[in-house]
A and B are shown apart, each in its own frame.
Chain A
Amino acid sequence: MFVAWRDLRFARGRFVLIGSVVALITLLVGFLAGLTGGLASQNISGVLGLPGDRLVLQKPATGKPSFSESVIDSATRTSWRAAPGVDDVTPVGIVQGRASIHGAASAVGVAVFGLPAGAPASIVADLTPTDDDSVGLSAGAAADLGAQVGDRISIAGSDYRVGRIGGDAWYSHTPVIALSPDAWAGVDRRLGGDGDPTVLAVAGAPDWDAVAASTDTTAMPVLTSVTALETFTSEIGSLGLMIAMLFGVSALVVGAFFTVWTMQRAGDIAVLKALGASTGSLVRDALGQALVVLLAGIGVGITIVAVLGSLAGGVLPFLLSPLTTLLPAAIMAALGLAGAAIALRTVTHADPLTALGSNR
């Protein structure tokens, strides 16, 4: 790193420029990742907050399983409860509607979940009221409605008392409200449904495929079940593609810079080789230099993302976590180094003989 550090000092303008580009791309990637995470959280945190090892949805005659289309009848519930290896089956009803606080002129969109009291502990299960006249509000629902414990809210024409306010849970960009199964069935019928639950949250270790096949259902791990939310796959797919393209741009920009930079230094590299520099030391020098630039640029970018993300969190669906900061930063560094490695060919192939003025 002897020459690398001094090159960084000597050509600081060029390195500040490429470092700034890396910081800018990191800012874009970090911000997109934070937004993607925030949007994803507003889409699926209610689903991820359900109890059980797998979620069982109705298998449609054609197409993929869907939370919005699934209906689980009583025979299916009975079959899953009776299946060997099943420890617990929690029927869950999910329907989207509108709710308003008593006396308010306008209503807000909500996701109404119906679960039995006493379901295994989870973010959503912990919201569930013990009686049919109460509701549990997620933090988002309470904020959107401006409701507090003891207030009365209206859902699909019926009034309920706010019994508890719990953690944050969202479903398809609407905050979750939890009702008892009977109260939920009433809401579902008033909204045009038949009152049957839409999902089973199953715990245990049965032969998942066999039971699913015999009941015409699909049993998916909770994390992968989010693909049954149509809005989630399309939304995250678009944002993920943008992030992937930015990763590619980052690798190309860093690779192009270090390729040009190393080619400009080809004569110096040949001289160092002629003086006795090992190829290994020159490669370490080149990669070390790239790593310094990448870490500096990425560090600045991620710091700005963290600051802006914490400010924007109140007004935007922005998720600030290691998953949306450190992970993209690590990928940026790895891809940047891969790009810089393209330039190593100039280092490894530099001919020390060219350092002589004439070789014949």
Chain B
Amino acid sequence: MITLDDITLTFPDGDARITAVDHVSLTAPNGVVTGITGPSGSGKSSILAVAATLIRPDSGRVWIGDTDAAALSRDDATALRRDSIGIVFQQSNLLPSLTAREQLLVMAELGGRSRRSRAAVRLRADDLLDAVGLSGHRDKRPAQLSGGQRQRVAIARALVNDPGVLLVDEPTSALDQERGGEIMDLLARLTRERQTATLLITHDLVHRDALDELITVVDGRASTAAHRVEA
């Protein structure tokens, strides 16, 4: 579970500061896809950046399990991202030199040395590639994959270290509606199967059926409390 408690985030804007996130509180439970939507510039991605420990808020707490991520040092936050947070970016952000399988294997090397046996990581990677429907593409590089396949690899990569929290930034923005729907369904299925607390940013509500809960953000404020999405 991830909980954002009264988060405020400002950025410098000339001599003044502009408020990107204004006293936002929310909770994303395990096994649930919590959507955050809102117009461009509303602060959705800033909320995701705070949740991902990529930026420290001016005030408030970010609880990931029992850890207040907002209070961690830079190095500790990096380690928390590595171990407990999976991130799926708006673009797939795959490394061009790695095959689909290696995109997953690299996640075990990020701390400088592999924390698990290479064989176990390979098994885990192959399982995940099967789970996202890419078992036949594991030796292909990003340039040899379609946009939807690349995003599936990115989702599998985010799940390699078995994170408790999955943060997803506009996963369908570069896909057509059919591929986007498949990705959203995949995320919903994996969230339930792996009991991750999934926080998903989207401005496109065409695929709202895949969301369990939805929070709307306007001008940095969560204007509506999380509500269960009716199919």
Contact = CB atoms under 8 A, between A and B. Distances in A.
Q: Do A and B come from one complex?
A: yes
Give the most central of B41, B54, B111: most A CB within 10 Å. B54
A281 B93 contact: no
Interface residues of A, number: 28
Given A10-B96, A353-B54, A358 B110 contact: no
Interface string B26-52: 000000000000000101011011001
A315 interface: no
Contacts of B106: 2-3, 272
Contact of A276 (B11, B49, B81, B105): B81
Interface in A264-279: 267-268, 271-278
Given A6-B102, A355-B93, A276 B83 contact: yes
Contacts of B52: 274, 356
B97 A360 contact: no
B87 A274 contact: yes
Given A276-B111, A358-B45, A360-B20, A6 B173 contact: no
Interface string A247-284: 00000000000000000000110011111111011001
Interface string B75-117: 1001111110101011101011110001001110111100000
Contact of A359 (B45, B98, B102, B105): B45
Contacts of B83: 276
Interface in A1-52: 2-3, 6-7, 9-11
Give the most central of B82, B95, B141: most A CB within 10 Å. B95
A337 B231 CA distance: 59
B22 interface: no
B170 interface: yes
B95 A355 contact: no
A6 B98 contact: yes
A275 B110 contact: yes
Contacts of A271: 89, 93, 95
B213 interface: no
Give the most central of A6, A276, A284, A353: most B CB within 10 Å. A276
A322 interface: no
A352 interface: yes
Contacts of A272: 95, 106, 110
B98 A356 contact: no
A268 B95 contact: yes
B132 interface: no
Contacts of A281: 109-112
A314 interface: no
B55 interface: yes
Nearest to B11: A360
B164 to A, nearest CB: 14
A119 B90 CA distance: 85
B82 A6 contact: no
A275 B91 CA distance: 14
A10 B140 CA distance: 12
A103 interface: no
A276 B82 contact: yes
A192 interface: no
B54 A274 contact: yes
B110 A356 contact: no
Contacts of A63: none
Given A272-B110, A355-B93, A358-B90, 9 more contacts: A3-B98, A3-B106, A3-B109, A277-B110, A355-B54, A357-B89, A357-B173, A359-B45, A360-B43
Interface of B: 11, 20, 41, 43, 45-46, 48-49, 52, 54-55, 75, 78-83, 85, 87, 89-91, 93, 95-98, 102, 105-107, 109-112, 141, 157, 169-170, 173
